[in-house]
Amino acid sequence: MTSTPQKIRSGAAFPFDNSYVGLPKHFFAPQSPTPVSEPWLIKLNEPLAAELGLDVEALRRDGAAIFSGNLIPEGAEPLAMAYAGHQFGGFSPQLGDGRAILLGEVIDRSGKRFDIQLKGAGPTPFSRRGDGRAAIGPVLREYIISEAMFALGIPATRALAAVTTGEPVYREEVLPGAVFTRVAASHIRVGTFQYFAARGDTEGVRSLADYVIDRHYPALREADNPYLALFEAVSERQAALIARWLHVGFIHGVMNTDNMTVSGETIDFGPCAFMDAYDPATVFSSIDQHGRYAYANQPGIGQWNLARLGETLLPLIDGEPDSAVDKANGVIRAYGERFQAHWLAGMRKKIGLTGDEDGDLELVQALLSLMQAQNADFTLTFRRLSDLAGDEAAEPAFAASFREAEASRAWLTQWRERLSRDPQTTSARATAMRSVNPAFIPRNHRVEQAIEAAVENGDFSLFEALLTVLARPYENQPDFAGYGEPPKPHERVLATFCGT
């Protein structure tokens, strides 16, 4: 094994167009990946590679070496990004990419810019005594969940590739090592702004804000107050994103400020999971001992994180401190209304409504309360309601979602009465509901089964099958019907782990 990665002349494979490296040098640390002994390509996301304008044939040939960090493509400028963050409410002034290395940026076929980053590629100056590596389980989990989120239509980072390293990593036990290649609109986080603000580096915050505006919100250049407009735009995207999480029962698990992007993408799929039985207090993360990031707490945590972003922008928003605080607080207050509007609009669609009536919120809340009291599966209940919207014969299946079959009758009476005032045809309503109520999500037990097979037996067939199913979450797939079922009692997954 070589001690430093080899460089290859592969301009066709990765047409890099790097911009972050042009920011001031204290924004990052130049860092090459650490080579591994026996890389093997588990999975290459060929459709995504093609969308990014990459040379798929070259990646099939050299992918194991490139995505493990053994070979550095021509044009790459590897670096580890600096950032800070609040972790479970406690502030760490320096975190940074401790096991991730940004290879560079590419422009996709539609003209959009994307980062290409290796996770688990070895130590960096920000590793804080860590080994900079990743085990195969977290790599497969991130691949599965990120691609599932994409298929569900939720903004998220993407999976380009996964490789094994041929080397062990040492956690609570010895595990096979792996490297994950992540694609993101950018990796700039709330914590990136906090890094410079914590150092009193107002010009650093300004440079970063200008970069974010140019990269993600170019229309804001002409705003009367571009930095206040940036804060409003990020707030809007986060409100919409977290509402989408709740619509599919997703629980991020670690909503630290260093895990919230300013682009509005879901990032860092560590101890994340999807709810089975509906309970707003659901927590899966093994490190979230007090439920800070429980399912129902996510909107409020989003607002808390945005307040931390607002604090970093105050000197840019207004030179007069009190005025800056007033303007930022206005954005924070508006976030609640933004979130509620996005959430209720999505829930209306989930129960088949196109118009707005004053009682719709109460109708939605009544269903959720019933589901919680009756231990109903979140995903299955809404999918069966979609079927019932198109065919009254589906009522017994919907009723079977509840512990007591009669429990849903009163709510169904209210629902049908409300539908009588909605202009959609029965067929159109059922089709629309199936387009927002997935039949398939990454069930926790299925994800764990795929990981266990890979770790214990080197068997990736369950991983591949799961990816196949999750690529079409809104379609009925009779051959994979079992993947839509909730876990049996002995299959339930009660805790997930971050994998660092």
Residue 259 annotated in ligand binding? yes
Residue 111 annotated in ligand binding? no
Residue 377 annotated in ligand binding? no
Residue 215 annotated in ligand binding? no
Residue 112 annotated in ligand binding? no
Residue 422 annotated in ligand binding? no
Could you confirm whether 210 is annotated as catalytic? no
Residue 132 annotated in ligand binding? yes
User: Which three-class secondary structure string do you get for the chain?
Assistant: CCCCCEEECCCCCCCECCCHHHCCHHHEEECCCCCCCCCEEEEECHHHHHHCCCCHHHHHHHHHHHHHCCEEECCCCCEEECCCEEECCEEECCCCCCCEEEEEEEECCCCCEEEEEEECECCCCCCCCCCCEEEHHHHHHHHHHHHHHHHHCCCECEEEEEEEEEEEEECCCEEEEEEEEEEECCCCEHHHHHHHHCCCCHHHHHHHHHHHHHHHCHHHHHCCCHHHHHHHHHHHHHHHHHHHHHHCCEECCCCCHHHCECCCCECCCCCCEECCECCCCCCCECCCCCCCCCHHHHHHHHHHHHHHHHHHHHHHHCCCHHHHHHHHHHHHHHHHHHHHHHHHHHHHHHCCCCCCCCCHHHHHHHHHHHHHHCCCEHHHHHHHHHHHHHCHHHHHHHHCCCCCHHHHHHHHHHHHHHHCCCCCCHHHHHHHHHCCCCCCCCCHHHHHHHHHHHHHHCCCHHHHHHHHHHCCCCCCCHHHHHHHCCCCHHHCCCCECCCC
Residue 336 annotated in ligand binding? no
**Given the residues 55, 258, 318, 387, the one annotated as active site:** 258
Q: Which residues participate in the annotated binding site for Mg(2+)?
A: 259, 268
Q: Which residues participate in the annotated binding site?
A: 96, 98-99, 119, 131-132, 182, 189, 259, 268
Q: Which residues are catalytic?
A: 258
Q: Which residues participate in the annotated binding site for ATP?
A: 96, 98-99, 119, 131-132, 182, 189, 268
